[in-house]
Each structure stands twice: as C-alpha cells, then as structure tokens.
C-alpha cells in the first residue's frame, strides 16, 4: 500500500465520540496505519452533539470522558504519530433533523474539553480554572447544567 504514494498525500482521522472508547483498539488501529506507511494520524472527538438526535442540553461528563480516553490513546501511541485532534460540535444528525445542543449551552463543555486536553487530564484545579474563565460558580459535569 505504501508504494501507492497515498500515505504521503493524506493523514487518516480516527473518529470516536464514545465516553468508553476502546483505548487498546485505537492503539492497534494506529499501529496498522503505521504499518501501511502513514506516519501521522488525527483524532476526532466531540464536545457537543453525538449523544442523541433530539438532545437539547450537553452532558459535559460524557464528552470529558471521551477526551480523557483520547489522551490515553495518545499516551499509549508513539510520541510522533499524533498530528492533532479535531473537536467536533454536532448541530444536527442529518439535514432533515432538528437542531440539537445549540452552541451557547455547550460552551462549558467546550471549555472543559479544551482545558482537559491542554492540561493532559482533568482535576479540581482544571475545574476551578474553567469556572473562573467562564464566570461560573459551580461547574457540573455529571448532571445537566442549570
């Protein structure tokens, strides 16, 4: 496959929005891509959407867990393989569906996910930093924000 020249022209993106994504499976997938000649891969996560076609509020904990799993994939992969991560924010499931999770209700989730990626994990300090950045007295990750 590498003789085709394709691995020098493209970089695969591995998509998974699950809170319990299979870390070991993703690491094996990256190894397969490397054996095919791809030197870099991208990850794709979601900070909103991807949890239900008619979801109106964002459950931050689901998306945070997904990003923490991606961090595990990155730490169990060769250091030079990850090119980046795309944080998607799904607005609708297809062009015929209603809108779901509008951006304003998902901004806390975006902030938490970005800070978790920036800091290599999530801690009370990261939570307090997000609360300070957003001017929020109490950030809830396991229940819907009020």
For residue 19, the Cα-to-chain-centroid distance in whole angstroms is: 9
Domains in the chain (CATH in brackets) are 6-134 (3.20.20.80)
- pLDDT for 66: 98
**Whole-angstrom distance, CA of residue 101 vs CA of residue 31:** 35
pTM (2 d.p.): 0.92
User: Would you call 48 exposed, middle or buried from its count of C-beta atoms within 10 A (0-12, 13-18, 19+)?
Assistant: buried
Decide: 45 and 63 in contact? Cβ < 8 Å: yes
2: which DSSP letter? G
What pLDDT is attached to residue 100?
85
What pLDDT score does 99 carry? 87
Residue indicated by tokens 């397969």 = 32
Which pLDDT value is given to residue 145? Answer: 59
For every one of its 146 residues, what pLDDT tens digit does the chain have, with 9 covering 90 and above?
A: 767 889 999 999 999 999 999 999 999 999 999 999 999 999 999 999 988 888 888 999 999 999 999 999 999 999 999 999 999 998 888 888 888 888 999 999 999 999 999 999 999 999 999 999 999 999 988 887 55
Helix pair 60-75, 103-119: axis angle to 10 deg = 30
Contact between residue 121 and residue 80 where contact means Cβ atoms under 8 Å apart: no
pLDDT at res. 40: 96
């Amino acid at each position: 496959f590498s003789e085709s020249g394709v691995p020098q022209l493209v970089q695969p993106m591995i998509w998974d929005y699950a809170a319990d994504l299979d870390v070991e499976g993703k690491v094996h997938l990256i190894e397969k891509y490397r054996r095919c000649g791809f030197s870099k891969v991208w990850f794709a996560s979601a900070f909103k959407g991807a949890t239900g076609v008619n979801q109106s509020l964002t459950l931050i904990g689901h998306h945070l867990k997904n990003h923490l799993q991606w961090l595990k994939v990155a730490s169990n992969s060769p250091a030079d393989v990850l090119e980046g991560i795309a944080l998607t924010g799904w607005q609708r499931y297809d062009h015929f569906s209603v809108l779901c999770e509008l951006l304003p209700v998902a901004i806390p989730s975006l902030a938490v996910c970005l800070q978790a990626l920036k800091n290599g994990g999530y801690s009370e300090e990261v939570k307090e930093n997000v609360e300070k950045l957003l001017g929020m007295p109490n950030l809830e990750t396991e229940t819907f924000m009020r």
